Homo-oligomer: A and B are copies of this chain.
Amino acid sequence: MIAIDWGTSSFRAFRLDAEGRITERRAAPRGILTIEDGAFAEELLRQTGDWIADGETRILMSGMIGSRQGWVEAPYLACPAGPAEIAAALVKVAFDGAQVLLVPGLTHTDAAGTPEVMRGEETQIVGMLAEIGADGIACLPGSHSKWAQIAGGRMAGFATYLSGEMFAALRGHTILGRMMKDAPHDADAFARGVARSADPGHLLHHLFGVRTLGLFGQLSETQSASYLSGLLTGHEIRAALPPGGGVVHLIGTVALCKLYAAALELCGAQAVLHDEDAAARGLAMIGKDAPWT
């Protein structure tokens, strides 16, 4: 089977053997936003045509390729959902030379009635299920961090936090950023920000402290970006962690996962880091139950 994680900015393909092990891999900066005139079939053939010619007949894809801006829109599937529910909701794509199926994104509605969405992350989480076990917490840090509750081997629900994108907006476009100088990550300043997130008061108030600590010489221009990062990460973790903390399974870029692991420990939780091939493992697991003809 060919497993493809096709996102907004990148394309990653894995060739899997019958046991789901990766035998070959390739990646290209050919995310869906770079594909003109909907030429997804042509791109797929360009990237994996030799594997198809070599006998592969099944292609399973996840990520933004199944969004409205992608090849075919795969409607969101409601939680709770695990590999079996996802496999039953795969969407067929017309393609000459192989069967192509799309993994749907997931949706979840919180107690107050506000909807949530993910697309692509569900496949990475499925790929971690073997290590997470039946119940646990998965976190995918990023511009829009996702926190999912795993119960009975399925995703019971999840929530998104805008922390990463907010960091970029605050740093790039507010008075806080004007006090910052580019500098290597400062672990102490990051830890101070994480600690500050536990103080009384609201994030909107804590943020102003980035400025006043600078004014009073308690935070230098080279420390304040790390402090802000710790403050936002700490707020996210304290809001998302269930009471009592616990173990959080992280997947994402290594540098970001290490920051989250440090912040989780400061918040009294434990982190388990997973490698980014979880997407391939998730596609393999969903592919086992897929309605191939």
Which A positions have Cβ atoms within 8 angstroms of B? 110-112, 114-117, 144, 159-163, 165-166, 168-170, 172-176, 196, 199-209, 212-213, 215-216, 218, 232, 235-236, 239-240
Are A172 and B173 closer than 8 Å at their CB atoms?
yes
| Nearest CB of chain B from residue A179's CB, rounded to whole Å | 13
Leading 10 A-B pairs by shortest Cβ distance? A202-B239, A160-B208, A112-B199, A161-B204, A169-B169, A162-B207, A114-B209, A169-B173, A115-B212, A173-B173
Bound Cα distance A216, B116 (Å): 10
A48 CB to closest chain B CB, in angstroms? 30
How far apart sit A21 and B239, CA to CA, in the bound complex (Å)?
Answer: 51
Question: When chains A and B are docked, how far (Å) is the Cα of A163 from the Cα of B206?
Answer: 11
Question: A111 CA to B203 CA in the complex, in Å?
Answer: 16
Closest to A161 in B: B204
In Å, the complex CA distance between A159 and B207 comes to 11
Using A163-B204, A170-B166, A203-B202 as known contacts, say yes or no to A213 and B114 having CB atoms under 8 A apart: yes
Q: How far is the CA of A116 from the CA of B207 in the complex (A)?
A: 11
In Å, the complex CA distance between A215 and B196 comes to 34
Chain B residues in 8 Å Cβ range of A240:
202, 205
Contact across chains for A203 and B205 when beta carbons are under 8 A apart: no
Q: In the complex, A172→B165 CA distance in Å? A: 12
Closest residue on chain B to residue A165 by CB atoms: B174
Set of chain B residues within 8 Å of A162, measured between Cβ atoms: 174, 176, 204-205, 207-208
24 A-B residue pairings within 8 Å (CB atoms): A112-B200, A114-B199, A114-B206, A114-B212, A115-B212, A115-B215, A116-B212, A159-B201, A159-B208, A160-B208, A161-B202, A161-B204, A162-B204, A162-B207, A165-B174, A166-B166, A166-B170, A166-B204, A168-B174, A172-B173, A201-B239, A202-B203, A203-B204, A204-B239
